[in-house]
Structure 1
Amino acid sequence: MEESVMGDLLESEPHPQEVVVEEGGRRVVTMDSARYVDASNTDHDVVVAASYIGVLPARLMAPHRPRAVIGHDGGIGKDAAGIQGLYYLEALGIPAVAADGATAELGNGQDLHDEGVVSRVNILAEQCGVSPGMPVAEAARRLLATDPSDTEVGTKVRREVVETSPTGRQVVVTDSIIFARPEDRDRNVLVTAGHTGRSGASFLLEFRPWGFICSDGGGAKNDSGTAGLAIVEEHGLAGASVSAMTAAIGDAQSSYVDGIIAACNEPARRRGVEVGMPAKQAAHLLLAEVPTS
Protein backbone atom coordinates (compact mmCIF):
# COMPACT_ATOMS: atom_id res chain seq x y z
CA MET A 1 0.00 0.00 0.00
CA GLU A 2 2.73 2.48 0.96
CA GLU A 3 4.66 1.70 -2.23
CA SER A 4 1.57 2.28 -4.36
CA VAL A 5 0.79 5.59 -2.65
CA MET A 6 4.38 6.77 -3.13
CA GLY A 7 4.19 5.87 -6.82
CA ASP A 8 0.98 7.87 -7.17
CA LEU A 9 2.56 10.88 -5.46
CA LEU A 10 5.59 10.76 -7.71
CA GLU A 11 3.38 10.83 -10.79
CA SER A 12 1.01 13.51 -9.53
CA GLU A 13 3.58 16.04 -8.31
CA PRO A 14 4.92 18.64 -10.77
CA HIS A 15 8.12 17.79 -12.62
CA PRO A 16 10.17 20.96 -13.13
CA GLN A 17 12.05 20.75 -16.42
CA GLU A 18 13.61 23.25 -18.80
CA VAL A 19 14.02 22.73 -22.53
CA VAL A 20 17.39 24.23 -23.55
CA VAL A 21 17.60 22.90 -27.12
CA GLU A 22 14.86 21.78 -29.50
CA GLU A 23 15.59 20.50 -32.99
CA GLY A 24 13.47 18.35 -35.29
CA GLY A 25 11.18 17.18 -32.54
CA ARG A 26 14.08 16.23 -30.27
CA ARG A 27 14.99 18.14 -27.13
CA VAL A 28 17.72 18.63 -24.55
CA VAL A 29 15.94 18.96 -21.22
CA THR A 30 17.56 19.95 -17.94
CA MET A 31 16.25 19.16 -14.47
CA ASP A 32 17.60 19.16 -10.96
CA SER A 33 16.83 15.52 -10.15
CA ALA A 34 16.44 12.17 -11.88
CA ARG A 35 13.15 12.00 -10.00
CA TYR A 36 11.73 14.58 -12.45
CA VAL A 37 12.13 12.42 -15.56
CA ASP A 38 8.67 11.34 -16.70
CA ALA A 39 6.67 9.98 -19.63
CA SER A 40 7.03 13.26 -21.52
CA ASN A 41 10.74 12.53 -21.98
CA THR A 42 10.37 9.22 -23.81
CA ASP A 43 12.74 8.49 -26.73
CA HIS A 44 13.08 12.04 -28.13
CA ASP A 45 14.72 13.76 -25.14
CA VAL A 46 18.29 13.94 -23.97
CA VAL A 47 17.79 14.30 -20.24
CA VAL A 48 20.36 16.33 -18.27
CA ALA A 49 19.48 15.46 -14.68
CA ALA A 50 21.67 16.69 -11.82
CA SER A 51 21.43 13.58 -9.66
CA TYR A 52 24.41 11.28 -9.33
CA ILE A 53 24.18 8.65 -12.06
CA GLY A 54 24.19 5.60 -9.83
CA VAL A 55 21.89 2.60 -10.06
CA LEU A 56 19.02 4.14 -8.09
CA PRO A 57 18.65 7.26 -10.27
CA ALA A 58 19.04 5.05 -13.35
CA ARG A 59 16.13 2.95 -12.11
CA LEU A 60 14.01 6.08 -11.77
CA MET A 61 14.78 7.21 -15.33
CA ALA A 62 14.90 3.94 -17.25
CA PRO A 63 11.14 3.15 -17.32
CA HIS A 64 10.56 6.35 -19.32
CA ARG A 65 13.20 5.39 -21.93
CA PRO A 66 14.71 8.81 -22.66
CA ARG A 67 16.84 9.13 -25.77
CA ALA A 68 19.94 9.59 -23.61
CA VAL A 69 20.87 10.57 -20.07
CA ILE A 70 23.54 12.88 -18.66
CA GLY A 71 24.06 12.93 -14.90
CA HIS A 72 26.61 13.90 -12.25
CA ASP A 73 29.37 11.46 -11.29
CA GLY A 74 28.98 12.16 -7.57
CA GLY A 75 32.77 12.13 -7.22
CA ILE A 76 32.72 8.49 -8.43
CA GLY A 77 32.89 7.36 -4.80
CA LYS A 78 33.31 3.99 -3.11
CA ASP A 79 32.83 1.07 -5.46
CA ALA A 80 32.28 3.66 -8.24
CA ALA A 81 28.71 3.90 -6.99
CA GLY A 82 28.32 7.41 -8.40
CA ILE A 83 28.50 6.13 -11.98
CA GLN A 84 27.18 2.55 -11.88
CA GLY A 85 23.98 3.69 -13.59
CA LEU A 86 25.96 4.21 -16.80
CA TYR A 87 26.22 0.46 -17.21
CA TYR A 88 22.71 -0.26 -15.97
CA LEU A 89 21.42 2.04 -18.72
CA GLU A 90 23.84 0.59 -21.27
CA ALA A 91 22.34 -2.84 -20.71
CA LEU A 92 18.92 -1.34 -21.48
CA GLY A 93 20.12 0.32 -24.70
CA ILE A 94 20.24 3.90 -23.38
CA PRO A 95 23.32 6.09 -23.97
CA ALA A 96 24.49 7.65 -20.71
CA VAL A 97 27.14 10.12 -19.61
CA ALA A 98 28.56 11.29 -16.28
CA ALA A 99 29.93 14.78 -15.63
CA ASP A 100 32.96 15.42 -13.44
CA GLY A 101 31.75 16.33 -9.96
CA ALA A 102 34.31 19.12 -9.70
CA THR A 103 32.84 20.89 -12.73
CA ALA A 104 29.11 20.84 -12.03
CA GLU A 105 26.79 21.31 -9.07
CA LEU A 106 24.71 18.45 -7.76
CA GLY A 107 21.01 19.30 -7.86
CA ASN A 108 21.42 22.05 -10.47
CA GLY A 109 20.52 20.83 -13.96
CA GLN A 110 21.29 24.12 -15.66
CA ASP A 111 24.78 24.27 -14.16
CA LEU A 112 25.35 20.65 -15.15
CA HIS A 113 24.48 21.52 -18.74
CA ASP A 114 26.33 24.83 -18.93
CA GLU A 115 29.45 24.14 -16.87
CA GLY A 116 29.84 20.38 -16.68
CA VAL A 117 32.67 18.44 -18.31
CA VAL A 118 32.27 14.77 -19.19
CA SER A 119 34.18 12.32 -16.97
CA ARG A 120 32.74 8.92 -17.98
CA VAL A 121 30.57 7.49 -20.76
CA ASN A 122 28.94 4.17 -21.53
CA ILE A 123 29.67 2.48 -24.83
CA LEU A 124 26.43 3.69 -26.44
CA ALA A 125 27.30 7.32 -25.70
CA GLU A 126 30.81 6.64 -27.01
CA GLN A 127 29.26 5.40 -30.26
CA CYS A 128 27.51 8.78 -30.52
CA GLY A 129 30.85 10.59 -30.39
CA VAL A 130 30.87 11.58 -26.71
CA SER A 131 34.18 11.31 -24.87
CA PRO A 132 35.70 12.31 -21.51
CA GLY A 133 36.85 15.94 -21.41
CA MET A 134 34.01 17.15 -23.63
CA PRO A 135 31.69 19.93 -22.36
CA VAL A 136 28.32 18.55 -21.31
CA ALA A 137 26.53 21.00 -23.62
CA GLU A 138 28.43 19.59 -26.59
CA ALA A 139 27.82 16.02 -25.44
CA ALA A 140 24.09 16.72 -25.20
CA ARG A 141 23.99 18.03 -28.77
CA ARG A 142 25.86 14.98 -30.06
CA LEU A 143 23.44 12.68 -28.27
CA LEU A 144 20.58 14.68 -29.75
CA ALA A 145 21.86 14.35 -33.31
CA THR A 146 23.40 10.88 -33.37
CA ASP A 147 21.98 7.41 -32.89
CA PRO A 148 24.20 4.74 -31.33
CA SER A 149 25.21 2.13 -33.87
CA ASP A 150 24.09 -0.86 -31.83
CA THR A 151 21.60 -0.98 -28.96
CA GLU A 152 20.91 -4.70 -29.09
CA VAL A 153 21.74 -6.81 -26.07
CA GLY A 154 25.11 -8.49 -26.57
CA THR A 155 28.83 -7.89 -26.84
CA LYS A 156 29.95 -4.50 -28.11
CA VAL A 157 33.42 -4.62 -29.67
CA ARG A 158 35.56 -1.52 -29.25
CA ARG A 159 38.75 -1.30 -31.25
CA GLU A 160 41.00 1.73 -31.72
CA VAL A 161 44.42 2.11 -33.29
CA VAL A 162 46.38 4.52 -31.08
CA GLU A 163 49.89 4.30 -32.55
CA THR A 164 51.49 3.14 -35.79
CA SER A 165 55.21 2.46 -36.12
CA PRO A 166 57.29 3.45 -39.17
CA THR A 167 57.16 -0.20 -40.27
CA GLY A 168 53.37 -0.36 -40.02
CA ARG A 169 52.97 -2.18 -36.73
CA GLN A 170 50.12 -0.80 -34.65
CA VAL A 171 49.10 -0.49 -31.01
CA VAL A 172 45.46 -1.55 -30.95
CA VAL A 173 43.24 -0.95 -27.91
CA THR A 174 40.38 -3.45 -27.56
CA ASP A 175 38.64 -4.74 -24.46
CA SER A 176 39.54 -8.43 -24.75
CA ILE A 177 42.09 -10.61 -26.50
CA ILE A 178 39.15 -12.54 -27.96
CA PHE A 179 38.51 -9.48 -30.14
CA ALA A 180 41.85 -9.90 -31.93
CA ARG A 181 41.73 -10.09 -35.73
CA PRO A 182 43.76 -12.14 -38.19
CA GLU A 183 45.74 -9.04 -39.19
CA ASP A 184 47.02 -8.73 -35.59
CA ARG A 185 48.92 -11.99 -35.79
CA ASP A 186 52.70 -11.46 -35.53
CA ARG A 187 52.14 -7.78 -36.32
CA ASN A 188 50.25 -5.68 -33.77
CA VAL A 189 50.51 -4.91 -30.06
CA LEU A 190 47.14 -5.44 -28.37
CA VAL A 191 46.25 -3.50 -25.23
CA THR A 192 43.33 -5.37 -23.71
CA ALA A 193 41.61 -5.55 -20.35
CA GLY A 194 41.01 -9.19 -19.55
CA HIS A 195 43.20 -11.07 -17.07
CA THR A 196 46.54 -12.66 -17.92
CA GLY A 197 45.69 -16.00 -16.37
CA ARG A 198 45.87 -19.51 -17.82
CA SER A 199 42.76 -19.17 -19.98
CA GLY A 200 43.94 -15.77 -21.19
CA ALA A 201 47.19 -17.39 -22.28
CA SER A 202 45.30 -19.90 -24.42
CA PHE A 203 43.68 -17.04 -26.36
CA LEU A 204 46.98 -15.22 -26.67
CA LEU A 205 48.57 -18.32 -28.17
CA GLU A 206 45.62 -18.70 -30.52
CA PHE A 207 45.89 -15.14 -31.89
CA ARG A 208 49.65 -14.61 -31.36
CA PRO A 209 49.93 -10.80 -31.42
CA TRP A 210 53.38 -9.20 -31.73
CA GLY A 211 52.96 -8.02 -28.13
CA PHE A 212 50.22 -7.58 -25.58
CA ILE A 213 49.16 -5.89 -22.37
CA CYS A 214 46.36 -7.33 -20.24
CA SER A 215 45.19 -6.88 -16.62
CA ASP A 216 46.65 -8.71 -13.65
CA GLY A 217 43.12 -9.43 -12.42
CA GLY A 218 44.07 -8.16 -8.99
CA GLY A 219 46.70 -10.88 -8.70
CA ALA A 220 44.31 -13.55 -7.40
CA LYS A 221 45.13 -16.79 -5.60
CA ASN A 222 48.62 -18.12 -6.35
CA ASP A 223 49.22 -15.13 -8.65
CA SER A 224 46.91 -16.81 -11.15
CA GLY A 225 45.99 -13.45 -12.66
CA THR A 226 49.43 -13.23 -14.30
CA ALA A 227 50.25 -16.94 -14.71
CA GLY A 228 49.80 -16.63 -18.46
CA LEU A 229 52.90 -14.45 -18.82
CA ALA A 230 55.17 -17.41 -18.19
CA ILE A 231 53.08 -19.73 -20.36
CA VAL A 232 53.32 -17.50 -23.44
CA GLU A 233 56.98 -16.68 -22.74
CA GLU A 234 57.78 -20.29 -23.61
CA HIS A 235 56.39 -19.53 -27.08
CA GLY A 236 58.27 -16.24 -27.46
CA LEU A 237 55.30 -13.89 -26.95
CA ALA A 238 56.16 -10.58 -25.31
CA GLY A 239 53.62 -9.29 -22.83
CA ALA A 240 52.82 -7.47 -19.62
CA SER A 241 50.00 -6.94 -17.15
CA VAL A 242 48.70 -3.71 -15.66
CA SER A 243 47.65 -3.53 -12.04
CA ALA A 244 43.87 -3.81 -11.61
CA MET A 245 44.26 -1.16 -8.90
CA THR A 246 45.35 1.35 -11.55
CA ALA A 247 43.06 0.48 -14.47
CA ALA A 248 39.52 -0.83 -14.72
CA ILE A 249 39.45 -4.50 -15.66
CA GLY A 250 37.35 -4.94 -18.80
CA ASP A 251 38.05 -1.42 -20.07
CA ALA A 252 41.03 -1.37 -22.41
CA GLN A 253 41.02 2.40 -22.75
CA SER A 254 41.55 2.56 -18.99
CA SER A 255 44.35 0.00 -19.31
CA TYR A 256 46.07 2.13 -21.96
CA VAL A 257 45.53 5.54 -20.38
CA ASP A 258 45.65 4.77 -16.65
CA GLY A 259 47.38 1.42 -16.34
CA ILE A 260 50.71 0.88 -14.61
CA ILE A 261 52.67 -2.27 -15.41
CA ALA A 262 52.59 -4.73 -12.50
CA ALA A 263 54.30 -7.69 -14.19
CA CYS A 264 55.98 -8.57 -17.48
CA ASN A 265 57.76 -11.52 -19.04
CA GLU A 266 61.32 -11.77 -20.33
CA PRO A 267 60.55 -11.12 -24.03
CA ALA A 268 58.84 -7.86 -22.97
CA ARG A 269 61.76 -6.94 -20.71
CA ARG A 270 64.12 -7.39 -23.68
CA ARG A 271 62.10 -4.71 -25.47
CA GLY A 272 62.51 -2.34 -22.53
CA VAL A 273 59.30 -2.91 -20.58
CA GLU A 274 59.62 -2.58 -16.80
CA VAL A 275 57.35 -2.94 -13.77
CA GLY A 276 56.08 0.47 -12.66
CA MET A 277 56.00 1.85 -16.21
CA PRO A 278 52.86 3.48 -17.68
CA ALA A 279 51.04 1.11 -20.03
CA LYS A 280 51.16 3.65 -22.84
CA GLN A 281 54.97 3.70 -22.70
CA ALA A 282 55.14 -0.09 -22.48
CA ALA A 283 52.88 -0.48 -25.52
CA HIS A 284 55.18 1.79 -27.51
CA LEU A 285 58.23 -0.24 -26.52
CA LEU A 286 56.51 -3.50 -27.45
CA LEU A 287 56.31 -2.24 -31.06
CA ALA A 288 60.09 -2.68 -31.34
CA GLU A 289 61.20 -4.65 -34.39
CA VAL A 290 64.28 -6.08 -32.71
CA PRO A 291 64.38 -6.80 -28.96
CA THR A 292 66.63 -4.36 -27.13
CA SER A 293 69.77 -5.76 -25.50
Structure 2
Amino acid sequence: MTDLLETEDHPQQIVLEQDGRRVVTMDSARYVDARNTERDVVVAASYIGVLPARLMAPHKPRAVIGHDGGIGKDAAGIQGLYYLEALGIPAAAVDGESAELGNGADHYEAGVISRTNILAENCGVRPGQSVAEAARILLENEPGDVEPGTKIRREVVETSPTGRDVVITDSIIFARPEDKGRNVLVTAGHTGTSGASFLLEFQPWGFICSDGGGGKNDSGTAGLAIVEKEGLAGASVSAKSAAIGDAYSTYHDGIIVACNGPAEKRGVRVGMKAREAAHLLLQEDDAE
Protein backbone atom coordinates (compact mmCIF):
# COMPACT_ATOMS: atom_id res chain seq x y z
CA MET A 1 0.00 0.00 0.00
CA THR A 2 1.28 3.47 -0.86
CA ASP A 3 0.72 6.90 0.61
CA LEU A 4 0.09 9.83 -1.72
CA LEU A 5 1.84 13.07 -0.79
CA GLU A 6 0.43 16.22 -2.39
CA THR A 7 2.11 19.62 -2.57
CA GLU A 8 0.61 21.86 -5.21
CA ASP A 9 1.01 19.93 -8.46
CA HIS A 10 4.03 17.90 -7.33
CA PRO A 11 2.68 14.54 -6.15
CA GLN A 12 4.93 11.91 -4.59
CA GLN A 13 4.22 8.33 -3.60
CA ILE A 14 5.86 6.45 -0.75
CA VAL A 15 6.21 2.88 -2.01
CA LEU A 16 8.36 1.47 0.79
CA GLU A 17 9.12 2.48 4.39
CA GLN A 18 11.74 0.77 6.52
CA ASP A 19 13.58 1.84 9.69
CA GLY A 20 12.58 5.45 9.22
CA ARG A 21 13.72 5.50 5.58
CA ARG A 22 11.52 5.67 2.49
CA VAL A 23 11.45 4.94 -1.22
CA VAL A 24 9.49 7.75 -2.87
CA THR A 25 8.43 7.83 -6.53
CA MET A 26 7.51 10.87 -8.60
CA ASP A 27 7.11 11.80 -12.25
CA SER A 28 9.73 14.56 -12.37
CA ALA A 29 12.98 15.59 -10.72
CA ARG A 30 11.31 18.97 -10.28
CA TYR A 31 9.03 17.34 -7.69
CA VAL A 32 11.91 16.68 -5.30
CA ASP A 33 11.55 19.28 -2.57
CA ALA A 34 11.73 19.91 1.17
CA ARG A 35 9.73 16.74 1.83
CA ASN A 36 12.73 14.72 0.71
CA THR A 37 15.81 14.49 2.90
CA GLU A 38 18.62 12.05 3.65
CA ARG A 39 16.01 9.45 4.61
CA ASP A 40 14.61 9.17 1.07
CA VAL A 41 15.59 7.10 -1.95
CA VAL A 42 14.04 9.18 -4.73
CA VAL A 43 12.79 7.45 -7.88
CA ALA A 44 12.20 10.38 -10.24
CA ALA A 45 11.16 9.73 -13.84
CA SER A 46 13.18 12.55 -15.41
CA TYR A 47 16.35 11.81 -17.36
CA ILE A 48 19.30 11.84 -14.96
CA GLY A 49 21.34 14.51 -16.69
CA VAL A 50 23.09 17.43 -15.04
CA LEU A 51 20.05 19.73 -14.96
CA PRO A 52 17.76 17.27 -13.13
CA ALA A 53 20.64 16.45 -10.79
CA ARG A 54 20.97 20.14 -9.98
CA LEU A 55 17.27 20.26 -9.12
CA MET A 56 17.51 17.31 -6.75
CA ALA A 57 20.91 17.81 -5.14
CA PRO A 58 20.07 20.75 -2.82
CA HIS A 59 17.60 18.51 -0.95
CA LYS A 60 20.31 15.90 -0.33
CA PRO A 61 18.25 12.73 -0.74
CA ARG A 62 19.71 9.44 0.43
CA ALA A 63 19.93 8.24 -3.18
CA VAL A 64 18.43 8.90 -6.61
CA ILE A 65 17.19 6.70 -9.43
CA GLY A 66 16.32 8.39 -12.74
CA HIS A 67 15.78 7.57 -16.42
CA ASP A 68 18.82 7.18 -18.69
CA GLY A 69 17.21 9.18 -21.52
CA GLY A 70 18.56 6.65 -24.01
CA ILE A 71 22.07 7.75 -22.90
CA GLY A 72 22.13 10.09 -25.91
CA LYS A 73 24.75 12.34 -27.45
CA ASP A 74 27.74 12.90 -25.16
CA ALA A 75 25.97 10.58 -22.68
CA ALA A 76 23.94 13.62 -21.63
CA GLY A 77 21.11 11.44 -20.34
CA ILE A 78 23.24 10.07 -17.50
CA GLN A 79 25.76 12.82 -16.72
CA GLY A 80 23.91 13.59 -13.51
CA LEU A 81 25.12 10.29 -12.09
CA TYR A 82 28.61 11.72 -11.82
CA TYR A 83 27.46 15.17 -10.71
CA LEU A 84 25.65 13.49 -7.81
CA GLU A 85 28.62 11.22 -7.13
CA ALA A 86 30.81 14.27 -6.61
CA LEU A 87 28.29 15.51 -4.07
CA GLY A 88 28.25 12.21 -2.18
CA ILE A 89 24.84 10.98 -3.43
CA PRO A 90 24.45 7.41 -4.76
CA ALA A 91 22.58 7.41 -8.07
CA ALA A 92 21.49 4.99 -10.76
CA ALA A 93 19.84 5.21 -14.17
CA VAL A 94 16.95 3.19 -15.57
CA ASP A 95 17.16 1.59 -19.01
CA GLY A 96 15.12 3.82 -21.31
CA GLU A 97 13.51 0.83 -22.99
CA SER A 98 12.26 -0.57 -19.69
CA ALA A 99 10.36 2.37 -18.20
CA GLU A 100 8.45 5.42 -19.36
CA LEU A 101 9.83 8.92 -19.03
CA GLY A 102 7.63 11.00 -16.77
CA ASN A 103 6.04 8.00 -15.06
CA GLY A 104 7.50 7.35 -11.61
CA ALA A 105 5.20 4.41 -10.91
CA ASP A 106 6.30 2.67 -14.11
CA HIS A 107 9.94 3.29 -13.19
CA TYR A 108 9.48 1.53 -9.89
CA GLU A 109 7.30 -1.31 -11.16
CA ALA A 110 8.91 -2.07 -14.54
CA GLY A 111 12.29 -0.34 -14.67
CA VAL A 112 15.65 -2.09 -15.03
CA ILE A 113 18.93 -0.47 -14.00
CA SER A 114 21.32 0.39 -16.85
CA ARG A 115 24.02 2.52 -15.19
CA THR A 116 25.23 3.47 -11.70
CA ASN A 117 27.69 5.84 -10.13
CA ILE A 118 30.38 4.38 -7.91
CA LEU A 119 28.53 5.22 -4.69
CA ALA A 120 25.46 3.24 -5.80
CA GLU A 121 27.78 0.49 -6.95
CA ASN A 122 29.36 0.43 -3.48
CA CYS A 123 25.89 -0.03 -2.00
CA GLY A 124 25.41 -3.13 -4.16
CA VAL A 125 23.41 -1.77 -7.12
CA ARG A 126 24.23 -3.39 -10.46
CA PRO A 127 22.98 -3.06 -14.05
CA GLY A 128 20.23 -5.57 -14.75
CA GLN A 129 18.58 -5.26 -11.34
CA SER A 130 14.97 -4.17 -11.14
CA VAL A 131 14.41 -0.65 -9.87
CA ALA A 132 12.45 -2.05 -6.93
CA GLU A 133 15.43 -4.22 -5.95
CA ALA A 134 17.93 -1.40 -6.47
CA ALA A 135 15.81 1.01 -4.42
CA ARG A 136 15.65 -1.48 -1.56
CA ILE A 137 19.44 -1.96 -1.71
CA LEU A 138 19.97 1.80 -1.59
CA LEU A 139 17.57 2.00 1.34
CA GLU A 140 19.40 -0.66 3.35
CA ASN A 141 23.08 -0.12 2.52
CA GLU A 142 25.66 2.61 2.95
CA PRO A 143 28.00 3.76 0.15
CA GLY A 144 31.05 4.09 2.38
CA ASP A 145 33.31 7.10 1.91
CA VAL A 146 31.37 9.88 0.19
CA GLU A 147 33.97 12.60 0.52
CA PRO A 148 35.50 14.02 -2.67
CA GLY A 149 38.50 12.06 -3.86
CA THR A 150 39.47 8.94 -5.70
CA LYS A 151 37.31 5.86 -5.17
CA ILE A 152 39.33 2.77 -6.11
CA ARG A 153 37.47 -0.03 -7.85
CA ARG A 154 39.18 -3.38 -8.16
CA GLU A 155 37.69 -6.74 -9.08
CA VAL A 156 39.11 -10.12 -10.09
CA VAL A 157 37.06 -11.38 -13.05
CA GLU A 158 39.05 -14.46 -14.11
CA THR A 159 41.68 -16.73 -12.56
CA SER A 160 43.80 -19.06 -14.67
CA PRO A 161 44.88 -22.58 -13.64
CA THR A 162 48.36 -21.13 -13.06
CA GLY A 163 46.97 -18.70 -10.49
CA ARG A 164 47.19 -15.58 -12.61
CA ASP A 165 44.22 -13.19 -12.34
CA VAL A 166 42.51 -10.79 -14.70
CA VAL A 167 41.96 -7.71 -12.54
CA ILE A 168 39.85 -4.75 -13.59
CA THR A 169 40.61 -1.36 -12.03
CA ASP A 170 40.10 2.12 -13.43
CA SER A 171 43.75 3.14 -13.74
CA ILE A 172 47.18 1.55 -13.87
CA ILE A 173 48.08 3.77 -10.91
CA PHE A 174 45.88 1.49 -8.80
CA ALA A 175 48.09 -1.53 -9.45
CA ARG A 176 49.37 -3.38 -6.38
CA PRO A 177 52.72 -5.06 -5.67
CA GLU A 178 51.11 -8.49 -6.07
CA ASP A 179 50.27 -7.65 -9.71
CA LYS A 180 53.93 -7.52 -10.72
CA GLY A 181 54.76 -10.34 -13.11
CA ARG A 182 51.54 -12.12 -12.20
CA ASN A 183 48.26 -10.41 -13.10
CA VAL A 184 46.65 -9.04 -16.24
CA LEU A 185 45.33 -5.56 -15.53
CA VAL A 186 42.37 -4.22 -17.48
CA THR A 187 42.43 -0.49 -16.83
CA ALA A 188 40.86 2.55 -18.44
CA GLY A 189 43.50 5.23 -18.76
CA HIS A 190 45.30 5.96 -22.03
CA THR A 191 48.27 3.98 -23.33
CA GLY A 192 50.46 7.00 -23.98
CA THR A 193 53.99 7.68 -22.80
CA SER A 194 52.99 8.66 -19.26
CA GLY A 195 50.83 5.55 -19.04
CA ALA A 196 53.85 3.53 -20.13
CA SER A 197 55.90 4.91 -17.25
CA PHE A 198 53.37 3.52 -14.76
CA LEU A 199 53.20 0.20 -16.61
CA LEU A 200 56.98 -0.11 -16.38
CA GLU A 201 56.84 0.80 -12.72
CA PHE A 202 54.25 -1.86 -11.84
CA GLN A 203 55.26 -4.50 -14.45
CA PRO A 204 52.00 -6.49 -14.71
CA TRP A 205 51.98 -9.80 -16.58
CA GLY A 206 49.77 -8.14 -19.21
CA PHE A 207 47.52 -5.14 -19.60
CA ILE A 208 44.70 -3.55 -21.55
CA CYS A 209 44.15 0.22 -21.52
CA SER A 210 42.26 2.76 -23.65
CA ASP A 211 43.63 4.35 -26.81
CA GLY A 212 42.45 7.73 -25.49
CA GLY A 213 40.76 8.40 -28.80
CA GLY A 214 44.05 8.03 -30.65
CA GLY A 215 45.29 11.58 -30.28
CA LYS A 216 47.83 13.53 -32.28
CA ASN A 217 50.54 11.29 -33.74
CA ASP A 218 48.73 8.26 -32.24
CA SER A 219 49.97 9.42 -28.85
CA GLY A 220 47.20 7.50 -27.09
CA THR A 221 48.86 4.18 -27.93
CA ALA A 222 52.53 5.23 -28.06
CA GLY A 223 53.21 3.38 -24.82
CA LEU A 224 52.65 -0.02 -26.44
CA ALA A 225 55.99 0.17 -28.25
CA ILE A 226 57.77 1.61 -25.21
CA VAL A 227 56.79 -1.25 -22.90
CA GLU A 228 57.35 -3.85 -25.63
CA LYS A 229 61.08 -3.16 -25.30
CA GLU A 230 60.80 -4.46 -21.73
CA GLY A 231 58.75 -7.49 -22.80
CA LEU A 232 55.40 -6.29 -21.41
CA ALA A 233 52.40 -7.62 -23.32
CA GLY A 234 49.60 -5.15 -23.81
CA ALA A 235 46.77 -3.83 -25.93
CA SER A 236 44.48 -0.82 -26.26
CA VAL A 237 40.74 -0.63 -26.77
CA SER A 238 39.03 2.03 -28.83
CA ALA A 239 37.67 4.92 -26.76
CA LYS A 240 34.70 4.77 -29.13
CA SER A 241 33.90 1.27 -27.90
CA ALA A 242 34.39 1.73 -24.15
CA ALA A 243 34.26 4.64 -21.73
CA ILE A 244 37.70 5.98 -20.90
CA GLY A 245 38.23 5.99 -17.13
CA ASP A 246 35.82 3.08 -16.60
CA ALA A 247 37.58 -0.27 -16.47
CA TYR A 248 34.28 -2.15 -16.25
CA SER A 249 33.32 -0.66 -19.61
CA THR A 250 36.80 -1.41 -20.97
CA TYR A 251 36.46 -5.08 -20.02
CA HIS A 252 32.83 -5.62 -21.00
CA ASP A 253 32.49 -3.29 -24.02
CA GLY A 254 36.00 -2.65 -25.31
CA ILE A 255 37.25 -3.64 -28.76
CA ILE A 256 41.00 -3.96 -29.32
CA VAL A 257 42.40 -1.41 -31.80
CA ALA A 258 46.12 -1.85 -31.15
CA CYS A 259 48.44 -4.37 -29.50
CA ASN A 260 52.16 -4.92 -29.24
CA GLY A 261 54.31 -7.87 -30.26
CA PRO A 262 54.30 -9.76 -26.95
CA ALA A 263 50.50 -9.55 -26.86
CA GLU A 264 50.26 -10.82 -30.44
CA LYS A 265 52.41 -13.82 -29.46
CA ARG A 266 49.74 -14.70 -26.88
CA GLY A 267 47.02 -14.51 -29.54
CA VAL A 268 45.67 -10.99 -29.12
CA ARG A 269 44.40 -9.44 -32.35
CA VAL A 270 42.92 -6.11 -33.45
CA GLY A 271 39.11 -6.33 -33.58
CA MET A 272 38.95 -8.77 -30.68
CA LYS A 273 36.76 -8.13 -27.64
CA ALA A 274 38.70 -6.97 -24.61
CA ARG A 275 37.38 -9.82 -22.47
CA GLU A 276 38.75 -12.37 -24.95
CA ALA A 277 42.06 -10.53 -25.18
CA ALA A 278 42.40 -10.45 -21.39
CA HIS A 279 41.90 -14.20 -21.26
CA LEU A 280 44.62 -14.72 -23.87
CA LEU A 281 47.01 -12.43 -22.02
CA LEU A 282 46.91 -14.86 -19.09
CA GLN A 283 48.88 -17.36 -21.17
CA GLU A 284 52.58 -18.04 -20.84
CA ASP A 285 54.97 -16.25 -23.19
CA ASP A 286 55.58 -19.35 -25.28
CA ALA A 287 51.87 -19.54 -26.22
CA GLU A 288 51.20 -19.60 -29.94
Shorter-chain TM-score: what band? over 0.9
Query: 1 or 2, which has the higher helix percentage?
Result: 1
User: What aligned pairs does 1:79-118 form with structure 2 within 5 A after superposition?
Assistant: 79-118=74-113
Give the equivalent residue in structure 1 for 2:182.
187
Conserved in 2, the CA contact under 8 Å of 1:127 and 1:148? yes
1:35 shift after superposition: 0.3
Secondary structure of 1:41's aligned partner = coil
Partner AA of 1:180 in structure 2: A
Partner AA of 1:38 in structure 2: D
Give the equivalent residue in structure 1 for 2:258.
263
Give the equivalent residue in structure 1 for 2:202.
207
Residue ranges of structure 2 left out of the alignment (5+ in a row): 1-6
Q: Distance in 1 between matches of 2:286 and 2:228?
A: 14
1:16 shift after superposition: 0.5
Q: Distance in 1 between matches of 2:20 and 2:122?
A: 22
Conserved in 2, the CA contact under 8 Å of 1:165 and 1:287? yes
Q: TM-score, normalised by structure 2?
A: 0.97
Q: TM-score, normalised by structure 1?
A: 0.95
1:38 shift after superposition: 0.8
Give the equivalent residue in structure 1 for 2:4.
none
Conserved in 2, the CA contact under 8 Å of 1:267 and 1:291? no
Residue ranges of structure 1 left out of the alignment (5+ in a row): 1-11
Matched, 1:165 2:165: no
Secondary structure of 2:93's aligned partner = strand
Matched, 1:36 2:28: no
Q: Distance in 1 between matches of 2:137 and 2:128?
A: 14
**Cα displacement string for residues 135-160 of structure 1 (whole angstroms, at most 9, x for unaligned residues):** 01000000000010110110000000
Residue among 99, 120, 125 paired with 1:125? 120
Aligned residue pairs, count: 282
Secondary structure of 2:14's aligned partner = strand
1:173 shift after superposition: 0.2
**Cα displacement string for residues 36-65 of structure 1 (whole angstroms, at most 9, x for unaligned residues):** 001111100000000000000000000000
Conserved in 2, the CA contact under 8 Å of 1:98 and 1:121? yes
**Cα displacement string for residues 169-225 of structure 1 (whole angstroms, at most 9, x for unaligned residues):** 000000000000000000000000000000000000000000000000000000000
Identity of aligned residues (%): 78
Matched, 1:27 2:11: no
Give the equivalent residue in structure 1 for 2:232.
237
Q: Distance in 2 between matches of 1:221 and 1:161?
A: 34
